[in-house]
Chains A and B, each alone.
Chain A
Amino acid sequence: MTTVRVRNATKSFGRTTALDDVDLDAGRGVTGLLGPNGAGKTTLLRIMATVLAPDRGTVTLLGRDPQRPDDRTRIRERLGYLPQDAGFHRGFTVFEFIDYVAILKQMTDRRARHDEVRRVIELTGLSPVSGKRIRALSGGMRRRVGLAQALLGDPDLLVLDEPTVGLDPEQRLRFREMISHAGEGRTVVLSSHQTEDIAALCTRIAVFHRGRVRFTGTPGELTAQAAGRVWAGTQRSAAALAAWRTGDGVYRNVGDPPAGAELIPPTLEDAYLLLMGENELEVTHS
C-alpha cells in the first residue's frame, strides 16, 4: 500500500532549486531519505507534512490531495511531524507542551487528551521528566519531546526530519527502537545523513543529492552497488573516491583499487560515498 506518492515535485526558493523533478513512493515501514545537508530532504519532508506545497508536480498523501483544503485537514488528522528544528515554548513543562500540540491536533475532550498525552510520554520514556520545564532538559530529551508530540493520536503517517541528530550513541539506540516500533503497521518517512541509522532502521531508502533522487531501493540493493569497489590495502589509493585508515591500521579504499589491495565486502556507507562521489563528479563535469 502506498501512503505517500510524489511525482515530478519541483520546489524553488528564489533562485535555489531545492527539489528538482522528484518522484518518491513510501508505504508501510520505515523509508529513509539519505543525503548531505541541502540535498532537498527537508523540503520534501515539509511537503509531505503539508506545510509546504511544491511549485510543480503532484503529491498524494494517505490517498488524498494536500492542495485541497478539506483533504489537507483530513491528512493532518492522521499525520505526525517532527520538524528539523522543532521549537518549544521553553517555559512549558513537557506535559504542557505536548498537551498544547494535542489541542492543535483537535483533541478537545480534556480527559481523553490528557490520557493520550500520558501515553506518548510513557512511550518515549519521558515519564520521569514530564513535570519539568523544557528549558531544563538536555538536547536528547528535547528530541524525545519532539518525537512524543509527533506520536500523538497514533498517526498513520509519521514524518521525522533528522530524528537522531544531536543524540549520543545510547540515546540514538533508544530512538531507533522507538522509531522501528512506530514503523510497525505505519508509514514512517525520516531523513538522516547518518548511514548507520538508515541501515539499521529503513526498509527502503532514497538517496538525495542536489535536489534530485539518485537512488531508490532497499539498503541491501544500495550496498550491492558497491560490490567490487571496496579494497583494503596498506596504503591510501590516489584514485579512490574516499580512503581512510581504519583502527587496525589498514587503509579502506572506496573506488578504484590501489596496487596490491584486497577486495572486501562493502557497507551501506561505502555505497553511499560512491554514489555521492560519482554524482559530485558528474555535476562538476557537466
Chain B
Amino acid sequence: MLTRPPDPRADAELLAAIADGDREAFAELYRRHLPWLLVRLGRRCASPELVDEVLQDTFVAVWRSAGRWDRRGEVAAWIWGIGIRRLVDALRRSRPPADELMEFAGVETSAEEHVLLAVQYGDVGAALASLSPELRAVVQATVLDGLTTREAARLLGIPPGTVKTRMMRARALLRERLA
C-alpha cells in the first residue's frame, strides 16, 4: 500500500469517498496521516503499544464516521481530534503509572528555532518556552491539543482542579512575559 502512485484527491474528497466505502481512498488517507499522528501522539504517551492501539481505534473510527465530518476546517484537525480523545480514553481505562507520561523536559532552544517560533507564534512561543514543564504541559493539552479541562486532566494524570490552577498560573505568567 505504500508504493502506489500518489492519489491526486484532496483529503476532503478522500473522506467523501471513504464515506462511500472506498477502501483505496482510506488507504491513501491512512498513508498521509498516520505518520504525523504517530509522532504527535507518541509525544503524549510513553507507551508505543498504547499509541499503536489508539491509532488503530482512531482510523477505524475515521472509516466508520467519515460521513459525519462536518466539512469545515482541516481534515487533519478532525482526525487529530479523534486521535487525542481516543488517547485520553485509553489512558483513563489503563490508568497509567506516572512515568508513562512524557516529561516535557526543557531542552535548549537554538537561534533558528527561535526564529521558527516567532514565525508561528511570535513572542508567545518564546514565552511558552520559558514556562515550567508542568505548566507548559497544561497549556499544550488545553490550548494546542484542544482538550477540555477534564480531558486534559485525564491525559496528564492529574486532578481537574490542578489543571485549572496550573492554567491560571500559566496565563498569569504568559501575560506578564508578553506585557
Question: Is chain B in direct contact with chain A in the complex (CB below 8 A)?
Answer: yes
What is A's interface to B at a CB cutoff of 8 Å?
A: 127-132
A130 vs B24: C-alpha distance when bound (angstroms): 10
Establish whether residues B21 and A132, one from each chain, have CB atoms under 8 Å apart when the complex forms.
Answer: yes
Q: Which residues of A contact B21 (CB under 8 A)?
A: 129, 131-132
How far is B116's CA from A3's CA once the two chains are assembled, in angstroms?
70
Which of chain A's residues have a CB closer than 8 A to the CB of B24? 127-128
How many residues of chain B have a CB within 8 Å of chain A? Answer: 4
Interface string of B12-32 (1 = CB under 8 A from A): 000000000111100000000
Residues on B with beta carbons closer than 8 Å to the beta carbon of A128: 22-24
List the 4 shortest-distance A-B pairs measured between CB atoms, nearest first: A131-B21, A132-B21, A127-B23, A128-B24
CA distance A132 to B24 in the complex (A): 13
| Subset of 11 A-B contacts with CB under 8 Å | A127-B23, A127-B24, A128-B22, A128-B23, A128-B24, A129-B21, A129-B23, A130-B23, A131-B21, A131-B23, A132-B21
Instruction: List which B54-113 residues lie within 8 A (CB) of chain A.
Output: none
- In the assembled complex, how far is the CB of residue A110 from the closest CB belonging to chain B, in whole angstroms? 16
Task: Give 9 new A-B contacts, CB below 8 A, not counting A127-B23, A131-B23.
Answer: A127-B24, A128-B22, A128-B23, A128-B24, A129-B21, A129-B23, A130-B23, A131-B21, A132-B21
In the bound complex, how far is the Cα of B24 from the Cα of A183, in angstroms?
A: 28
CA distance A132 to B23 in the complex (A): 10
Instruction: Enumerate chain B residues within 8 angstroms of A127, measured Cβ to Cβ.
Output: 23-24
Best-surrounded residue of B21, B23, B24 (most CB of chain A within 10 A): B23
Q: Nearest Cβ in chain A — how far from B15, in angstroms?
A: 15
Least CB distance, A192 to chain B, in whole angstroms: 31
Complex Cα distance A128/B23, Å? 5
A129: which B residues are within 8 A, CB to CB?
A: 21, 23
Most buried by B among A128, A129, A132: A128
